Amino acid sequence: GAVVSQHPSWVICKSGTSVKIECRSLDFQATTMFWYRQFPKQSLMLMATSNEGSKATYEQGVEKDKFLINHASLTLSTLTVTSAHPEDSSFYICSARTFGTGRQYFGPGTRLTVT
Amino acid sequence: DQQVKQNSPSLSVQEGRISILNCDYTNSMFDYFLWYKKYPAEGPTFLISISSIKDKNEDGRFTVFLNKSAKHLSLHIVPSQPGDSAVYFCAATWGNEKLTFGTGTRLTIIP
């Protein structure tokens, strides 16, 4: 149980275009989903927290207009990287959590490369 | 401000021996700690956790120790196996809020 999927697992896009990444909790209802970014050989950096049906809370330094997060249902959250630039190339990971628990279940990650 | 630190970026251990991974934190509000294992290009997978009301939690080959006065926790893996080779992250949280991750330790098990 507690499986989280991400789609796509790998995407290449051209500079200036937008990319949408989906995060789904497959066998549980995720009241909260988190989006992380990981640079090579670095820790996971939390970008934003989203609760179902409400606006996402972004961490300091994360541009909310660039990284659009939608958590429309208890099983789906999306991250859209708008007007992507090469510096947005990274490994993006989502996690999901059910209300009342501290444990987060992570997706497999999405490798974004912007050319 | 790195609230959770893993001061050893890498560690090599002989197969069958004990692996000890360390983690220090600065925020005394943290009340729940977790260890995750991560392979390259994959998401982290949960290993073991411990609440601040305990000082030890054991699950098979994995044991986590918590020293609140020192703000230190450690993960013991015994015996170490080749499949344990990965990057290990400790994480901390309080009030069931967001996780704060350490910088990770790359563990290599030598056959």
Amino acid A30: pLDDT: 86
- The residue of chain B with its CA nearest to that of A95 is B43
Residue B87's alpha-carbon distances to B32, B44, B56, in angstroms, are 20, 9, 22
| Per-residue burial over A28-45, b = 16 or more CB atoms within 10 Å of its CB, e = otherwise | bebbbbbbbbbeeeebbb
pLDDT at B109 over 80: yes
Mutate to test the interface with B, among A35, A43, A103 (most CBs of B within 10 A): A43
Single out the residue of A72, A18, A78, A76 nearest to residue A48, CA to CA. Answer: A78
DSSP codes of every residue in chain A = ---EEEE-SEEEE-TT--EEEEEEESSS--SEEEEEEE-TTS-EEEEEEEETTS--EEPTT--TTTEEEEEEETTEEEEEE-S--GGG-EEEEEEEE-TT----EE---EEEEE-
Cα–Cα distance measured from residue A22 to residue A109, given in angstroms and rounded to the nearest whole number: 10
Amino acid A103: pLDDT: 76
Confidence of residue A27 (pLDDT cuts 50, 70, 90): confident
φ and ψ of B62, to 5 deg? -105, 130
Longest CA span, chain A: 41
Amino acid A101: pLDDT: 66
Residues of chain B neighbouring A104 (CB-CB closer than 8 A): 46, 99
Tokens of B88: 């290990």
pLDDT in tens, B69-98: 999 999 999 999 999 999 999 999 887 678
Mutate to test the interface with A, among B24, B96, B97, B105 (most CBs of A within 10 A): B96
- The residue of chain B with its CA nearest to that of A37 is B43
Question: A 20-59 residues with CB below 8 A of B?
Answer: 34, 42-46, 49
> Which run of H or E residues covers position B61?
none
Highest-pLDDT range among A20-34, B51-65, B86-100: B51-65
Tokens of B11: 């560690």
